[in-house]
Amino acid sequence: MGLAIAFIFCLIFARLIYVQLVWGAELKYRATDQWNREIPIIAGRGTIVDTNGQVLVGNKTTYSVFVRPNAVENAEYTATVLSGIFSLEPEKVLEKLNGGKVSEITVARQASKESVEKLVSYGLPGVYYSRDNSRVYTYNDVLCQVLGFTANDGSGLSGIEKFYDNILSGTNGEISYTTDIVGKETQNSVVVYNEATDGDGIQLTIDIDIQLACEEAMRSVYLSSKAKSVSCIVLNPQNFDILSMVNYPSYDLNDVPRDDKETLNSLSRNSIVCDIYEPGSTFKVITAAADIEEYLKGNSKAFSTSHIFNGSRIRTVDGTKIKCWSDHSNGKHSNQNLADALNNSCNPCFTDIALSLGKETFYGYLNNFGFGNVTGLDFNGEALGMLVPQSLVRDCDLARIGFGQTVAVTGLQLACATASAVNGGNYYTPRLLKSIVLSNNKKIVNEPVLKFKPISEKASSILSSMLEGVVTEGSGKKAFIDGYRVGGKTGTAQKYEDGHIASGKYISSFVGFFPADNPQYLALIIVDEPEGTYYGSAVAAPVAKEIFEDIIRIKNIQPYVREQL
C-alpha cells in the first residue's frame, strides 16, 4: 500500500511538473485569450507609384465595426441603430446578435469616418470599431488589369496587388483589453496597444503619361473598329521595362463589379500576358532575324540579303498548298529580296527561309527568342504560348510557322522577341517592378536581367534597317512620322474556332519601334475582330503612329536631322 501511494504521488508530482514547465506557456496563453479581447489595427497598405513617382494606388482611412454579442445590453435597439447607420437589414443583424454562437461579429468594413462618428454618439455597449484602410485608385479604370484589386480584408486578389501582396500588406496590430467571463470589459481593464507596421511601397516601370496616351488611343480604335477587344503594350527595348499595358474594355477599380463574377473575370484578365493568339505576319520579324544571323555565321542554307526569292505565289509542302495573301498580279512580289519580302509581307519567302534553315536550326531561334516559354514577367498567370514540339513538327508546319501560322504567342512574348531582334540582340527579363520603397524612403532597385542573346548586334542592325523600310515604303506606311525613324511590321491573322478558320474573323496587329537606329520605345497593337477593314496596315498601324506621336510630345523628342553629303 505504501508503494502504491508513493507511486500515485509520483504520478501527481510528474503531472504537476509537466503542467508547470511543459504545458504552462500554452495554458497561460489560453487563459489570457479567454480573459482578453482584441480589436485589430489594420496596417496601412503600401502605395504604388509610377516610374516618375506619380501615385497610382493610395489609401484612405476607413473603419471596421465589430460587436461582442455577450456585451450588448439591448439587442433590438443595437440592431436598429447599426442597420440604420450602415444600411443593413435589422432582422439579420438581430439574428446574429441573438445567435450566441460566436464571441464577435463584424458589422461593417471600410466604413466612413462620418458613419463611425455617428455610431460613437449612441454609446452602444459591446460595439467597437478600429481603423482599416480602403484602396484608392487614382485613375479609376486605367491599368485596371495590371494593378488588380484587393479583397474586403485588404489582401491582394489580382494583378500587382496580388503578386506583391507580401511587400504591400505590412503587419497588423491590435488593441487588447481584459474582460469578464461573458466578454464584457472589466472596470479596471488593462489596455495594451500593439502598433501596426505599414507595408512598403513599390515603384513600377509604368509611365502614367504614356499609359494615359495609350488608353485614349486604344479606346478610340475599340469604338471606331467595333472590335471585340483591343490590347497594347509599350516597352523600352533597352531593358524591357514595361512602360504601358492596356486591355480594353476595362472596369473601374474604385467600383469593382464583385457581384458579377463572370463579368469581373472577363474584364480583369490581362490578355496581353495571359492569352495567346496566332500572330500572323508580325512573326516574320523573327524568321528574318534567324535568316540574317545564320547568313552572317556562314550557314550555306541561309539566304543573303540580296538573294532573289522565287516569285511564285504558291508553295506545295507535304502535299499542302501554302499561298501568299496577295495574288501577285501587281508585280510587287516579283524579284524580291528579304527587305522587299518584309515590305510586301510575302508569305512564300518566309516559308522558303524556314524550310531552308530546317527545324533544328529554326527551333533553336524560336527557343532563344522566348517562344514556348514564359518571359518571366513579375505577374501571375503568364501563358506559355503554343509551339508544336520539335519532334512532331512536319515540313508543312515549319513552313507555316515561318510566316506566323501554326504557332500561338502572347502579346508580351512577341513584343519582347521583337525588342531583342532590334535592340542589338539582347533579350532581357521584362519587368513591372522598378524598386521597392521602404518606410524610410530608401529604395531597393530591381535591376534589369539579361537572359539571352539570340542574334548578333550586326544582324540586329540589318534587320532594324529593313523594318524601317517597311514603314517608309511598305505595308506599314500608316505608322510613318515625318522627321522620326520608325520601324515596324504589320500583321493580319485569321482566327480559328473548333479547329477551323472562322469566317470573317481576324486579328489585326502592328509591332513598331523608334528611333529605328537606336530603339527607345516599342509598341505592339492588337485589335481582335475589327468590323469592316481588318488589315493590320489599316487598323493597327495608325494607332501605333498616334501613340508614338504622343510619346514624342510627352518626352519632347526632337526630330532627327539628316546628314548632308
Length of the chain measured in residues: 565
Direct distance between the N- and C-terminal alpha carbons of the chain, in angstroms, rounded to an integer: 121
The residues near 349 (Cβ < 8 Å, ≥ 6 apart) are: 309, 336, 338, 341
- The single residue listed with the C-alpha cell 473548333 is 498
Active-site option among 130, 134, 281, 345: 281
Query: How many whole angstroms separate alpha carbon 488 and alpha carbon 537?
Result: 10
pLDDT value for 565: 44
- Give the mean pLDDT of 252-276: 92
Over the stretch 181-232, which tens digit does the pLDDT of each residue have?
555 555 566 667 677 788 999 999 999 999 999 999 999 999 999 999 999 9
- The pLDDT confidence band at residue 283, using thresholds 50, 70 and 90, is very high
**Strand 407-408, strand 427-428: pairing:** unpaired
Q: How far is the C-alpha of 283 from the C-alpha of 490, rounded, in Å?
A: 9
Distances (CA, A) of 201 to 161, 288, 439: 11, 43, 8
> Taking 60 as the threshold, does the pLDDT of residue 240 lie above it?
yes
Per-residue pLDDT for 276 more than 60?
yes
121 Cβ contact partners less than 8 Å away, ≥ 6 residues apart: none
Q: What is the pLDDT of residues 143-169, one digit of tens each?
A: 999 999 998 888 999 999 999 999 999
Mean per-residue pLDDT, 331-358: 90
Phi/psi of residue 386, each to 5°? -130, 120
Residue 441, pLDDT above cutoff 70: yes
Other C-beta atoms lying within 10 Å of the C-beta of residue 503: 8
According to DSSP, residue 431 is labeled B
Whole-number pLDDT of residue 230: 97
pTM of the model: 0.86
Comparing 38-42, 135-139, 255-259, 303-307, which segment has the lowest mean pLDDT?
38-42
Q: Work out the angle at residue 406's Cα, subtended by the Cα atoms of residues 334 and 376, and round it to the nearest 5 degrees.
A: 115
In this prediction, residues 525-546 reach a mean pLDDT of 95
Place of cell 535592340: 423
The answer to whether residue 281 is catalytic is yes
Asked if pLDDT for residue 362 goes beyond 90, the answer is: yes
Q: How far is CA 526 from CA 227, 241, 292, 541, in A?
A: 10, 19, 27, 10
Provide the pairing of β-strand 314-317 with 320-323: antiparallel
Name the H helices within 297-346: 338-344
Per DSSP, 482 falls in state T
C-alpha grid cell for residue 198?
Answer: 505599414
pLDDT, residue 128, reads: 84
For position 356, what pLDDT does the model report?
Answer: 96
Residue (of 200, 218, 234) closest to 141 by Cα position: 218
Q: At what angle do helices 347-368 and 284-296 cross, to 10 degrees?
A: 80
Q: Please identify which residue in the block is written with the cell numbers 528579304.
A: 338
Selection from 549, 563, 547, 487 nearest residue 518 by Cα: 487
DSSP single-letter state for residue 543: H
